Amino acid sequence: MNAFTVGTIIARTKAGVAEHVGVVTAPNLVLHNTPTRGEHESSLAEFAAGSPVTIKGRVRDMISFMHRVWRKRQNLRPYDLVSNNCEHTISALTDEQPSSPQLQAWGFVFLVIIGIVTLTRVGTK
């Protein structure tokens, strides 16, 4: 039996440092969001892009999920790293709270580095 049933949230590595996420919307069909194509559905093989695919979770409320997928199919949006990346798309489809934990983590790391650089410069003056 295929573990990737409708409502399965899946992921693969992207550029070795991040995850690309999608959600299964039909047998062998994944809705995801990429810089080149924006929000779209593709085959599982296209989503995987030659990388192993892991299960991140499953949708809890299938009826609400399928309604959101239907609405999303009517209004596919372009990719935007800050406001509409793959995590935003999938979180909006699965729990209606668009968010990007990876983007938040990278933002935090960036702020820490800026803080260290600033403190280092202040300490040398």
Q: What is the DSSP string of 14-71?
A: ETTTEEEEEEEEETTEEEEEETTTEEEEEEHHHHHTTS--EEEEE-S-HHHHHHHHHH
| Sign (positive or negative) of CA dihedral 91, 83, 107, 31 | positive
- The full set of domain ranges for the chain reads 8-100
Look over the chain and give the mean of its residue pLDDT values, rounded to a whole number: 85
DSSP 84: B
- The proportion of the chain whose per-residue pLDDT surpasses 70, expressed as a percent, equals 75
Assigned CATH for 8-100: 3.90.1720.10
Write out pLDDT tens, residues 5-60.
Answer: 999 999 999 877 789 999 999 999 999 999 999 999 999 999 999 999 999 999 99
